[in-house]
Chain A
Amino acid sequence: MANVSMVDVLFALPILVPSLGALLVLLLDVFLEENWPRGIFTGVVLVGTLGAIKYVSDASGVETTLFSGVLYHDPFSVYFFLIITVTAALTLLMSEGRLRQEGIENPGEFYALYLMATAGAMIFVAAAELITLFLGLEIMSMALYCLCGSAVRLSRSSESALKYFFLGSFSSAFLLFGIALLYGLTGSTQLEVISENLVGSNSFVVAIAMGFLLFGFIFKIGAVPFHFWAPDVYQGAPTPVTAFMACTIKASALGAALRVLWMLFVENYEYYQIWSDAVWMIAILTMIIGNVVALRQRSLKRMLAYSSVGHAGYMLVAFLAPMEWGGGAALLYYIAGYGVMTIGAFGVVLAVTAAGAQERDGDDITTFNGLGNSSPVLAALMTLFLLSLAGLPPGMAGFVGKFYVFSAAVSGGYTGLVIVGVLCSAVSCYYYLRVVVAMYFIPAEAGAGDASVAPTVGLSMGSALGLCAGAVLLLGLFPSFVYDSAKLIVSGLY
């Protein structure tokens, strides 16, 4: 019979700490005065989460599941806990003191929802059982819907919340139907049992279940054909929330998708062909559409949204190259690199648009004109992040990540996909470099409210951007440190 031991609770601490932290923020918000340091408290909770992750990773000798097979306790979960917590903490650091400018009027609720979404993302990625997976997904999404609409007086914020809410719950209903079909085929919701019992099932029903599961995951990852929400939601939501969605949530969805899809459909070779055809198609469309549509965006947040769609395409290429070809390790590395460079880019957008954040076109590309003169450090950092996103210079996380992903795909025999990927990277240089050109070569128009006045960068924003830039360079210069441990982590996945 199922019983909960103390060990289970201790090993679930990385999830429990932010959950309890979220409740505490709400509680303290009632009793303390108006301006109590919520941001610092939330930061302390995230640091506590990092401590819990350290404790769990030290203790992870034997690979087990927690709470009678509900959550995985393995290096793969720990790696994603780390990515989720670090990206959440960096986003929090850069948004410190800027919430009111973004139109968020109830910071207590913001921080509580932020921690809940973090906890949900961790449950999502660690779930060993499909109902738990669904609950993690919903905890994360429900908090995110509210976060998107947290600038309650701005109509674009509530519009983005509405779009995200409708399309998100639509896609989770499909995911849930996929879970129901798998349960019908195998009589269990445990991933391992499903994976065993799926052999020899009616392959038509398996294909439908696979399609429904893919629908749910692809939506959260933001890949074509379910990417159309991303630009609207990214643009309308407050910038800290956008950065959080683009990095933390995407990382969590990729982790969960990798585990579930590989366990169910790669391990069972009879379904591998149909699965790989579907993912191949999605990856190629995502790379092309994401990068081509980004070319004509004027809003920086929209451009970064399409860029994140394009990056989702590169990451899906890694899905196709299972363990023996190194796709999993490449994906894990890519997620880390993508996370820090995207947070950095959104951080600069947040700093530059702070003054005009309430206006609809506050993040238009003309806002960046002349930034190279008025704020050389900020412009240099933005250049670094954008070049890394474009994957241009060796020695930065973006280039190395693409190299790992594409070499894994080549050894898996997906050369055509790699050719398309490289061409798409070349296309992406245009829209990334356009921002660099605007910063350095187009002078700011006088009195247009643009970057002719240097944006203020406080201590928290400065340190967040510095940490992101440092991480991009470190990951790029010493990739083997992360890549080798990623290989070990993925080898324990099956």
Chain B
Amino acid sequence: MVSVNHYLILSLLMFSIGVTGFVIRKNAIVVFMCVELMLNAVNIAFVAFARMHGNLDGEIAVFMVMVVAAAEAAVGLAIIIALFRNAKSVDTDDAAELRL
């Protein structure tokens, strides 16, 4: 029997993978994917909780989060392209002009 706890563990695992990837990866596109992974992990948690409580609030929240993630993809890729035009690289280590 698959219970709410199983979904929550899956969600937490995905979230942790996203956080780890965000911290250790240097490629801007991969870092961006990790953020999307974190958002989708939250979506799983929302759906599991909605099922547990038997109301639809959580499932509606998922739609909102999906819209936000789509908008974030548009903005994020645009910013990465702008950076690539200026720096000829999508490596986050190369974006280090702003220092003391």
A161: chain B residues within 8 A (beta carbon): 79, 82-83
| In the complex with contacts A160-B98, A170-B38, A184-B49 CB distance below 8 A | yes
A166 touches B82 (CB 8 A): no
User: What is the CA–CA distance of A287 and B71 in the complex, to the nearest angstrom?
Assistant: 35
A-side interface residues, number (CB < 8 Å): 44
| In the complex with contacts A145-B75, A187-B55, A298-B100, A134-B68 CB distance below 8 A | yes
**Cβ-based interface call for A29 (8 A):** no
| In the complex with contacts A165-B75, A177-B42, A155-B97 CB distance below 8 A | yes
A183 touches B46 (CB 8 A): yes
Q: Which residues of B are interface residues toward A (Cβ below 8 A)?
A: 8, 15, 18, 22, 28, 31-32, 35, 38-39, 41-42, 45-46, 48-49, 52-53, 55, 57-58, 60-61, 64-65, 68, 71-72, 75-76, 78-80, 82-83, 85-87, 92, 95-98, 100
A165 touches B82 (CB 8 A): no
Q: Which residues of A are interface residues toward B (Cβ below 8 A)?
A: 131, 134-135, 138, 142, 145-146, 149, 152-156, 158-163, 165-166, 169-170, 173, 176-177, 179-181, 183-184, 187-189, 231-232, 235-236, 296-299, 302, 360
A146 touches B35 (CB 8 A): no
Complex A-B: 30 CB contacts under 8 Å:
A134-B64, A134-B68, A146-B75, A146-B79, A152-B85, A154-B86, A158-B83, A159-B87, A162-B79, A162-B95, A163-B98, A166-B22, A166-B28, A166-B35, A166-B92, A169-B35, A170-B35, A173-B35, A176-B39, A177-B15, A177-B45, A180-B45, A180-B58, A183-B46, A184-B48, A189-B61, A236-B97, A236-B98, A296-B100, A297-B100
Closest residue of A by beta carbon distance from B94: A159
Closest residue of B by beta carbon distance from A299: B100
B53: chain A residues within 8 A (beta carbon): 183-184, 187
Closest residue of B by beta carbon distance from A143: B75
A149: chain B residues within 8 A (beta carbon): 78-79, 82
A135 touches B64 (CB 8 A): yes
A138 touches B42 (CB 8 A): no
B79 touches A145 (CB 8 A): yes
B97: chain A residues within 8 A (beta carbon): 155-156, 159, 236, 360
A302 touches B61 (CB 8 A): no
Among the listed A180, A188, A231, which residue makes an inter-chain contact with B46, where contact means beta carbons less than 8 Å apart? Answer: A180
Closest residue of B by beta carbon distance from A302: B100
Q: Which of A153, A154, A165, A299 gathers most chain B CB within 10 Å?
A: A165
A189: chain B residues within 8 A (beta carbon): 57, 61
Known: A146-B78, A155-B86. 17 other contacts (CB 8 A): A134-B65, A135-B68, A158-B87, A162-B83, A162-B92, A162-B95, A166-B92, A173-B18, A173-B38, A176-B65, A177-B38, A180-B42, A183-B53, A184-B45, A184-B49, A187-B55, A188-B57
